[in-house]
Amino acid sequence: MRQFTETEALSGIVREALGAGIQVAGVDRLRGGSKKGVYRVHLEGPRTASVIVYSWAEAENYWPGAEDIDAAHPFAPASGLVPFLAAQRRLDRLGVRVPGVLLADDSRRRYPADVAVVEDVAGGTLEALLDTDPARAADVLSELAALLDVMHQQHSQRYGRVDVLERGDKASGVSCEQLVLERALEDLAEAVERDPRIGSAAAPLHDRLQELAVRVSPRMEHALIHSELGPDHVLVDASGHPVLIDIEGLMFFDVEWEHVFLQLRFGEHYPVLSRPGLDPARLDLFMLAMRLSLVAGPLRLLDGDFPHRALMRGIAEHNAKEALALLPLS
């Protein structure tokens, strides 16, 4: 049985951030996170109504542990205070709105895990707004497209997560496309063992990945990408501006990796975010790789006790179907 953070511990860290006179009125653990706990702490008094607390405690991480993970690998689990703060600093300098940090602490003296107290952007998600107020959401979507342009115009000859590059480490691998291919082959092997439909098409999928990878030409420049940006990872502030969250995976990588994910998650709204000049060969390889990742990943998560099981099964089933649809007709 997982033991999540208690109100008393959260109250202490919030008082540390905002002052001893702050009174905590209540705590809600927000749904959806699989790597960190996200808590809304309601406050009494005139200063602010609530704040958000991120907790990177071990009990908050639902992903099964894996041995011999290279922490510098671009696809290594992006979780923790260090990658969060590196991403927050980089985006803030670019003028890309992210929640303000009120306190960050990895000392474990005040709290038994890495923790951050951040601004509560209480306007809801872009995902919800697309359903409830499409006209207002269209303005947010347009502004989001402009912010992504700012990010994607930041270039580096090196690829990797920003925290890895900031400390002078070198990311694993020889190229983005090779890393994507290697991960896709691993995801395929894992999916074969878990999904009979993928298992029955293992050889054609393997061959298709290799065929698509051969078509990709080398590239020496990489763009700054969020790497997991769906409408649920965009909050809308009181002034109607987009605010990016779940930013720990911010990295320099092939921009097509971002656009494949945007296409999947924004669906009919993606054309606003689409841009000319993307490499069709990379898009083809990355799309199949992403589909296989979204089969293997959710099924791997279900090896543990992740509570929202029907959601994960649905994601895996949908993406298995879509991966098979990417095979050429025989």
Max CA pair span of the chain: 70
Q: For residue 64, is pLDDT > 70?
A: no
Q: How many CB atoms lie within 10 A of CB 217?
A: 8
Would 7-119 and 126-325 be classified into the same CATH topology?
A: no
Is residue 326 helix, strand or coil? coil
Q: For residue 3, is pLDDT > 70?
A: no
Amino acid making up residue 170: K
Per residue in 173-201, pLDDT (tens digit) is 899 999 999 999 999 999 999 999 999 99
- Give the pLDDT confidence score for residue 1 in this predicted structure: 44
Domain-wise residue ranges, the chain: 7-119, 126-325
Cβ atoms of 119 and 68 closer than 8 Å: no
Per residue in 104-150, pLDDT (tens digit) is 999 888 888 899 999 999 889 999 999 999 999 999 999 999 999 99
C-alpha dihedral sign at 1, 106, 53, 315: negative
7-119 — its CATH code? Answer: 3.30.200
82-109: string of b/e by CB count within 10 Å (b at 16+)? bbbbbbbebbeeeebbbbebbbbbeeee
24-33: long-range contacts at Cβ-Cβ below 8 A with a sequence spacing of 24 or more?
Answer: 29/4, 29/5, 31/308, 32/232, 32/308, 33/60
For residues 226-253, average pLDDT: 97
CATH architecture designation of domain 126-325: Alpha-Beta Complex (3.90)
Which H/E stretch holds residue 117?
Answer: strand 115-119
Cβ atoms of 301 and 62 closer than 8 Å: yes
| 58 vs 277: CA distance, rounded Å | 42
Percent of the chain with pLDDT over 70: 95
